[in-house]
């Protein structure tokens, strides 16, 4: 029986054109990260499952992880997210390393997802993290970086927005304003995280069950109506509570405004993030287009990520942005360049095999000059070669014949301008100037 030619369910083959897109996306992200002095890192494909048990969300572990027992009887998993890995790495070195650490990565991750638009089982994710920055400043820088990354693709505040909340404020609301216990607060977090996916009625009913009485439910519903930082301040004042709980959020929004980032950032009470490790500001980046209204990135601040390694706390902020949803965003807003053809500069071809050697040599010399050169292997008729060169996206084509070799003179044809440069076969510098001057 013939083997299946398709990739494994939920994964993709990246043919050259797909790969150009992936490299375009992560290349730009790497570029912007480096402008922010972030350094590239990577971790292993597999981690011991214990690492995820300790900190990731429950659903991720029980339903979505690719785990198995290795030949040495260790329970391991293909990484479903990068934060536990980066925490493990930072735990190794943070004591003797100058801080803050600013790191980014672009790993492939796997999750056993139900397939739907924007979701695949293997995906690539840009991750950025800063560890050991002073309060709020790491958070602000992370928002700046995220905005600049999306802007570098042509994204504008009409196309995306960052919805943001603060888990310290949510904790305060749940415990001090509404007055519910820790265990209930955890349930309420999970409920809010799923709000967008539930019918309104069902959500309200579950809230009531969770908080216990109508009065508490009303306080909670009031919280859900907060639309900006001014609403937050008023809500806290009205409930006669100290403003300490919202001091970081207020100062964060002040800085965001001074930096002109407020057109991108919006307070949203429903953003709490499902993963257990967040402790401060949390955010999600949303596509604003009505036909692709969904989160394309998410992140936040975590204070205690190193605790599971018995290390002192080290404040961190990070976010992740996956290739599948981000590509949907770029497509939705027509932000993708034409990547249909490879970037190859010169095509060398020869009419008969007696000049094969000379053709190989010419190609080698052009490459030494840094010119992307394809050698058409095997003898070929001129008629065929121009069609081939255009399909492949070459800018220049050279056809070597025995006559040209005798005369030591070749014709360098610009396929875009149709101009023909006659040049000595030995004048590789001249050819290089023609190509690079193009």
Question: What string marks each residue from 38 to 77 as x (binds its own copies by CB under 8 A) or -?
Answer: -xxxxxxxxxx-xx--x-----------x-xxxxx-x-x-
Q: Are 298 and 193 in contact (CB under 8 A)?
A: no
265 lines the binding site for its own copies (CB under 8 A): no
Looking at the Cβ atoms of 110 and 191, the one nearer to its own copies is: 110
> Least separation, in Å, of the C-beta of 147 and its own copies?
10
8 lines the binding site for its own copies (CB under 8 A): yes
Q: Which of residues 147-206 bind its own copies (CB under 8 A)?
A: 148
In eight-state DSSP terms, residue 198 is: S
Which one of 57, 80, 118, 138 is in contact with its own copies (CB under 8 A)? 138
In terms of C-beta density within 10 A (0-12 exposed, 13-18 middle, 19 or more buried), how is residue 211 classed? buried
Residues 76 and 68: their CA atoms lie apart, in Å, by 6
Residues 109 and 123: their CA atoms lie apart, in Å, by 6
Looking at the Cβ atoms of 85 and 325, the one nearer to its own copies is: 85
22 lines the binding site for its own copies (CB under 8 A): yes
Residues 17 and 341: their CA atoms lie apart, in Å, by 7
Q: Which of residues 86-115 bind its own copies (CB under 8 A)?
A: 88-89, 91-93, 98, 100, 102-103, 108, 110, 112
Looking at the Cβ atoms of 32 and 321, the one nearer to its own copies is: 32
> Least separation, in Å, of the C-beta of 30 and its own copies?
9
> Least separation, in Å, of the C-beta of 413 and its own copies?
17
> Least separation, in Å, of the C-beta of 249 and its own copies?
17
> Least separation, in Å, of the C-beta of 312 and its own copies?
12
**What is the residue whose two structure tokens read 């004591």?**
95
CA angle, 46 as apex, 71 and 193 as ends, to 5°? 130
Q: Which of residues 267-296 bind its own copies (CB under 8 A)?
A: none
Residues 93 and 285: their CA atoms lie apart, in Å, by 31
**What is the residue whose two structure tokens read 């290089």?**
432
Residues 65 and 136: their CA atoms lie apart, in Å, by 33
The count of residues interacting with its own copies (CB under 8 A) is 94
In terms of C-beta density within 10 A (0-12 exposed, 13-18 middle, 19 or more buried), how is residue 353 classed? exposed
> Least separation, in Å, of the C-beta of 324 and its own copies?
14
Residues 126 and 109: their CA atoms lie apart, in Å, by 10
Looking at the Cβ atoms of 87 and 170, the one nearer to its own copies is: 87
> Least separation, in Å, of the C-beta of 46 and its own copies?
5
Write a three-state SS string for 241-287. Answer: CCHHHHHHHHHHHHHHHHCCCCCCEEECCCCCCCCCCCCCEEEEEEE
> Least separation, in Å, of the C-beta of 179 and its own copies?
35
Which one of 24, 203, 309, 386 is in contact with its own copies (CB under 8 A)? 309
134 lines the binding site for its own copies (CB under 8 A): yes
Looking at the Cβ atoms of 242 and 258, the one nearer to its own copies is: 258
> Least separation, in Å, of the C-beta of 296 and its own copies?
22
Residues 131 and 94: their CA atoms lie apart, in Å, by 9
> Least separation, in Å, of the C-beta of 402 and its own copies?
16
- Which residues neighbour 178 within 8 Å (Cβ) at sequence distance 6 or greater? 211, 216, 219, 220, 223
Q: Which of residues 336-375 bind its own copies (CB under 8 A)?
A: 342-344, 356-357, 360-361, 364, 367, 370-375
Residues 300 and 422: their CA atoms lie apart, in Å, by 61
Q: Is 74 helix (H, G, I), strand (E, B) or coil?
A: coil
81 lines the binding site for its own copies (CB under 8 A): no
140 lines the binding site for its own copies (CB under 8 A): yes
Which one of 250, 259, 324, 336 is in contact with its own copies (CB under 8 A)? 259
Which one of 289, 294, 365, 392 is in contact with its own copies (CB under 8 A)? 392
> Least separation, in Å, of the C-beta of 23 and its own copies?
6
Looking at the Cβ atoms of 9 and 215, the one nearer to its own copies is: 9
Residues 389 and 395: their CA atoms lie apart, in Å, by 8
24 lines the binding site for its own copies (CB under 8 A): no
Q: Are strands 394-400 and 344-350 parallel, antiparallel or unpaired?
A: parallel
Q: Which of residues 199-258 bind its own copies (CB under 8 A)?
A: 255, 258
């Amino acid at each position: 029986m013939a083997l299946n030619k398709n990739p494994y369910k939920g994964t993709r083959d990246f043919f050259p054109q797909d790969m150009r897109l992936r490299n375009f996306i992560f290349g730009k992200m790497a570029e912007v990260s480096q402008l922010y002095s972030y350094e590239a890192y990577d971790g292993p494909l597999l981690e011991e499952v214990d690492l995820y048990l300790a900190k990731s969300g429950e659903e991720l572990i029980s339903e979505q992880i690719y785990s198995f027992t290795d030949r040495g009887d260790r329970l391991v998993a293909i990484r479903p997210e990068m934060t536990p890995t980066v925490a493990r790495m930072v735990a190794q070195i943070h004591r003797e390393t100058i801080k803050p650490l600013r790191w980014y990565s672009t790993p492939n991750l796997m999750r056993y997802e139900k397939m739907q638009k924007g979701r695949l089982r293997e995906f690539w994710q840009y991750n950025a993290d800063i560890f050991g920055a002073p309060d709020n400043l790491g958070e602000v820088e992370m928002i700046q970086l995220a905005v600049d990354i999306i802007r570098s693709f042509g994204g504008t505040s009409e196309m995306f927005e960052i919805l943001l909340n603060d888990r310290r404020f949510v904790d305060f609301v749940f415990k001090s304003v509404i007055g519910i216990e820790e265990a209930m607060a955890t349930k309420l977090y999970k409920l809010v995280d799923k709000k967008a996916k539930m019918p309104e009625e069902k959500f309200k009913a579950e809230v009531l069950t969770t908080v216990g009485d109508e009065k508490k439910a009303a306080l909670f519903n009031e919280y859900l109506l907060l639309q900006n930082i001014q609403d937050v301040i008023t809500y806290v004042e009205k409930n006669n509570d100290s403003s300490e709980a919202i001091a970081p959020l207020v100062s964060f929004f002040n800085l965001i405004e001074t930096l002109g980032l407020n057109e991108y950032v919006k307070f949203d009470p429903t953003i709490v993030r499902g993963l257990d490790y967040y402790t401060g500001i949390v955010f999600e980046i949303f596509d604003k287009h009505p036909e692709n209204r969904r989160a394309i990135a998410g992140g936040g601040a975590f204070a205690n990520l190193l605790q599971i390694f018995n290390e002192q706390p080290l404040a961190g902020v990070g976010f992740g942005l996956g290739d599948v949803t981000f590509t949907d965003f770029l497509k939705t807003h027509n932000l993708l360049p034409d990547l249909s053809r490879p970037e190859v500069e010169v095509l060398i071809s020869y009419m008969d095999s007696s000049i094969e050697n000379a053709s190989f040599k010419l190609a080698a010399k052009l490459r030494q000059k840094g010119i992307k050169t394809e050698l058409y292997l095997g003898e070929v008729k001129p008629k065929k070669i121009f069609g081939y060169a255009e399909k492949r996206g070459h800018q220049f084509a050279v056809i070597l014949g025995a006559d040209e070799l005798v005369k030591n003179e070749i014709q360098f044809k610009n396929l875009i301008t149709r101009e023909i440069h006659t040049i000595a076969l030995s004048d590789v510098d001249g050819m290089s100037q023609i190509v690079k001057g193009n």
